[in-house]
């Protein structure tokens, strides 16, 4: 979650692992921002929401703009560098590439099948190796030997790492091999071997990992920029879009969410043969929104 | 004879197909809607790696028989792709599970077999009656398709849809993507609509397709004839480029061989002609949110590109 002022400077931000409870994390983040607003004295004039949970979050918080992550990241990257040519985003469970020409996105792709190239995989390997993922960069930089680690699939990748360790390869080399494998996988499967033009911006949680950043730089043969706010660029982008809406009355529901009782109700609608599975989000026992309806009965049919 | 006929659903044309059967004097059980249960049944009983349309059509057949159908009709493509095996394998699967019914595959490539296969279900059918009903059916399908192309005719963004024929027509499987795009104000051309299909089948049946149907330009990208509508998709994509479309969406079932083969070719054509193509793979694990995110991103990108010109 991030708060921007009128000059698009980040006044406050929160970056949390949802740890399987996204609504709890949302409440926590919102509460933190509420504290920040009291301390720094700002008022919320507009809200933008992005990410895979954007629909649900918009039911709970209220939003002026609800936009997909590709557009949000594009807007953010253009804000950091209007000449940006390639955006690499690698987050917890997805990765994307966006190519631009003269400030206009001309192509993008999101990973489809597997999380092999994303943050959750790196985190699970870090946990297995008992090395904090933040130290991956340091380990990778100490690598002296090129070790090829299969990177297309998490299962095979882990098997390969275990196998290389059994052969006697050092952790530094294995970690470096993993970072390089991730980069190779990204370039061939996500970027589909399209040339990534200069300047390149790398965002998302994984951009914190120096091992991956440097592997990209080696593979691409050029410097890769990691903005200071790389973890929250999606928020920045969608906040800028909300700013453009310039509404007088924001749909923001206020900071009360932290105290609200939020429940999800699952039921099957019996009204026709389709038997849709409906998910209802209840705030203090009142329905705030629904998902899953094939007709207009429970939710809008527009995307 | 008193048979109770049913068949797999085919998007918005399902009612027309029901009407066709009724006009031919057959009692039908309307194909049940495709629901979560349909997908579960189809996925459970179908071979794991098989293409998605097989699973969906199998699921519907099972539910139709559960609801009292004793005869199931399925197309036999007699050539193109795994579709040629559908009826036989689906029958085998269902009978081995104890479902009691007759499978009637209809050959959709050879005109005489087509007629004879239908006459097995409608005894005493005359060729003239069949022709009249097929023409009536085609006209109704064309009305629906023309109405679809009437929406957002003056839109500044035009998107062409290519891909595998079943997922392009069955809206419950493609997340009703055409309607959703139309709600976003976009003009959509879905070249695999049923009326186009019927015309292609007719031409193919009577040898009117012409030897050089596969254009020289498409041959340059992919010189081999393969199954499904793969080659035709390449031709149509290049046509979309020439007609100045803003982008194309390729809808394919995850395990569809012909479409998987041409996917890199489509990517190549997209790069060469600077025509964005959104490639969407569909199967039982496809989530609507993922679909929606990609389509929304794609539309946003097309709008930004257009605004910059």
Total number of domains in chain A: 3
* A chain contacts of residue B294, beta-carbon cutoff 8 Å: 68, 110
In the prediction, which pLDDT does A113 show?
Answer: 62
Residue A40 in domain:
yes
Same domain assignment for residues A161 and A220: yes
Residue A207 in domain:
yes
Residue A254 in domain:
yes
Same domain assignment for residues A110 and A171: yes
Same domain assignment for residues B157 and B126: no
Measured distance between the N- and C-terminal CA atoms of chain A, rounded to whole angstroms: 23
Same domain assignment for residues A255 and A282: no
Of the partner residues A106, A276, A303, the one whose CB lies closest to the CB of residue B292: A303
Same domain assignment for residues B105 and B223: no
Q: State which residue of chain B sits closest to A99, comparing Cα positions.
A: B301
Asked if residue A112 has pLDDT above 70, the reply is: no
Total number of domains in chain B: 2
Asked if residue A237 has pLDDT above 70, the reply is: yes
pLDDT for B50-63, tens place per residue? 999 999 999 999 99
Q: Do B301 and A52 touch (CB under 8 A)?
A: no
Boundaries of domain holding A135: 82-228
**Predicted-assembly ipTM surpassing the 0.85 threshold:** yes
In the prediction, which pLDDT does B204 show?
Answer: 86
Residue B145 in domain:
no
d(C-alpha B13, C-alpha B28), whole Å = 15
Same domain assignment for residues A95 and A209: yes
Query: What separation in angstroms does the CA of B46 have from each of B6, B49, B166, B167?
Result: 19, 8, 17, 18
Same domain assignment for residues A23 and A86: no
The mean per-residue pLDDT over the stretch B169-178 comes to: 94
Listed as own residue / partner, the contacts of B125-133 with beta carbons closer than 8 Å and 24 or more positions apart are: B125/B24, B129/B24, B130/B24, B133/B20, B133/B23, B133/B24
Q: What is the DSSP letter of B32?
A: P
* B chain contacts of residue A67, beta-carbon cutoff 8 Å: 296, 300
The mean per-residue pLDDT over the stretch B92-97 comes to: 96
The pTM for the full model equals 0.91
Q: State which residue of chain A sits closest to B306, comparing Cα positions.
A: A104
Most A CBs within 10 Å, among B280, B300, B302, B303, to test the A interface: B300
The mean per-residue pLDDT over the stretch A232-253 comes to: 93
Q: Is residue B221 within 8 Å of B269, Cβ to Cβ?
A: yes
Least confident of B173-182, B247-256, B280-289: B280-289
Average confidence score pLDDT of chain A: 90
Asked if residue B73 has pLDDT above 70, the reply is: yes
Residue A76 in domain:
no
Same domain assignment for residues B179 and B67: no
Same domain assignment for residues A94 and A151: yes
Least confident of A48-52, A261-265, B19-23, B55-59: A261-265
Least confident of A281-285, B112-116, B243-247, B267-271: A281-285
Same domain assignment for residues A129 and A42: no
B149 pLDDT band, cuts 50/70/90, is: very high
Percent of chain A residues past pLDDT 70, beyond the cut? 97
Boundaries of domain holding B299: 152-308
* A chain contacts of residue B260, beta-carbon cutoff 8 Å: none
Same domain assignment for residues B131 and B178: no
pLDDT for A121-130, tens place per residue? 888 888 999 9
Asked if residue B30 has pLDDT above 60, the reply is: yes
Q: Do A68 and B36 touch (CB under 8 A)?
A: no
Q: How many CB pairs under 8 A join A and B?
A: 72
Least confident of A27-36, A109-118, B288-297: A109-118
Q: Do B296 and A274 touch (CB under 8 A)?
A: no
Same domain assignment for residues A54 and A157: no
Taking the CA of residue B309 and the nearest CA in chain A, the distance in Å comes to: 10
Percent of chain B residues past pLDDT 70, beyond the cut? 98
CATH of residue B8: 3.40.50
Residue A77 in domain:
no
Beta-sheet strand order (sheet of A86-90):
A104-110, A95-101, A86-90, A200-203, A224-225
Residue ending a domain, choose from B137, B171, B197: B137
| Angle formed at CA A71 by CA A69 and CA A76, multiple of 5 degrees | 90
């Amino acid at each position: 979650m991030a708060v921007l002022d009128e000059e698009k400077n980040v006044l406050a931000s929160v970056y949390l692992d949802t740890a399987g409870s996204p609504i709890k994390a949302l409440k926590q983040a919102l509460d933190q921002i509420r504290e920040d607003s009291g301390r720094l004295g700002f008022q919320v004039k507009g809200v933008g929401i992005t990410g895979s949970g954007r629909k649900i979050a918009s039911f709970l918080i209220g939003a002026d703009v609800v936009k997909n992550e590709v557009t949000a990241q594009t807007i953010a990257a253009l804000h950091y560098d209007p000449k940006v040519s390639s955006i690499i985003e690698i987050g917890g469970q997805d990765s994307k590439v966006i190519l631009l020409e003269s400030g206009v996105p001309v192509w993008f792709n999101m990973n489809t099948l597997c999380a092999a190239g994303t943050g959750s995989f790196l985190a699970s390997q870090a946990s297995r190796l008992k090395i904090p993922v933040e130290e991956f960069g340091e380990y990778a930089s100490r690598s002296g030997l090129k070790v090829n680690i299969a990177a297309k699939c998490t299962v095979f990748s882990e098997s390969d790492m275990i196998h290389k360790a059994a052969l006697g390869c050092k952790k530094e080399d294995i970690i470096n091999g993993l970072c390089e494998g991730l980069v190779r996988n990204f370039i061939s499967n996500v970027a589909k071997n399209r040339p990534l033009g200069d300047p390149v911006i790398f965002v998302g949680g994984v951009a914190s990992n120096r091992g991956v950043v440097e592997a990209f730089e080696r593979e691409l043969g050029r410097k890769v920029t990691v903005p200071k706010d790389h973890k929250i660029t999606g928020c920045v982008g969608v906040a800028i879009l909300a700013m453009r809406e310039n509404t007088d009355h924001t749909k923001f529901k206020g900071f009360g969410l932290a105290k609200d009782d939020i429940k999800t109700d699952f039921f099957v609608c019996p009204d026709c043969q389709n038997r849709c599975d409906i998910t209802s989000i209840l705030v203090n026992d009142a329905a705030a929104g629904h998902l899953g309806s094939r007709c207009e009965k429970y939710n809008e049919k527009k995307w | 004879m008193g048979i109770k006929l049913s068949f797999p659903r085919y998007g918005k044309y399902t009612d027309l197909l029901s009407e066709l059967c009724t006009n031919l004097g057959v009692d039908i059980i309307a194909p049940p809607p495709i629901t979560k249960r349909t997908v579960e049944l189809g996925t459970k009983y179908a071979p794991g790696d098989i293409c998605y349309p097989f699973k969906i059509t199998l699921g519907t057949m099972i539910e139709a028989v559960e609801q009292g159908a004793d005869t199931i009709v399925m197309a036999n493509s007699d050539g193109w792709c795994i579709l040629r095996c559908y009826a036989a394998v689906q029958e085998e699967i269902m009978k081995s599970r104890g479902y009691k019914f007759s499978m009637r595959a209809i050959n959709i490539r050879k005109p005489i077999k087509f007629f004879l296969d239908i006459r097995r279900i409608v005894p005493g059918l005359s060729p003239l009656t069949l022709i009249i009903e097929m023409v009536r059916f085609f006209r109704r399908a064309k009305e629906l398709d023309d109405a679809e192309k009437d929406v957002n005719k003056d839109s500044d963004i035009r998107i062409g849809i290519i891909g595998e024929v079943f997922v392009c027509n069955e809206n419950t499987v493609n997340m009703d993507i055409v309607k959703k795009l139309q709600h976003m104000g976009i003009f959509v051309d879905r070249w695999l609509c049923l009326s186009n299909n019927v015309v292609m089948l007719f031409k193919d049946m009577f040898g009117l397709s012409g030897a050089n149907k596969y254009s020289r330009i498409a041959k340059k990208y992919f010189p081999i004839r393969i199954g499904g509508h793969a080659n035709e998709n390449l031709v149509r994509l290049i046509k979309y480029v020439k007609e100045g479309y803003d982008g194309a969406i390729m809808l394919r079932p995850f395990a569809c061989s012909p479409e998987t083969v041409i996917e890199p070719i489509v990517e190549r054509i997209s790069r060469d002609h600077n025509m964005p193509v959104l490639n969407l793979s569909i199967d039982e694990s496809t989530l609507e949110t993922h679909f929606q995110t990609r389509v929304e991103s794609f539309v946003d990108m097309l709008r930004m590109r257009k605004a910059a010109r």
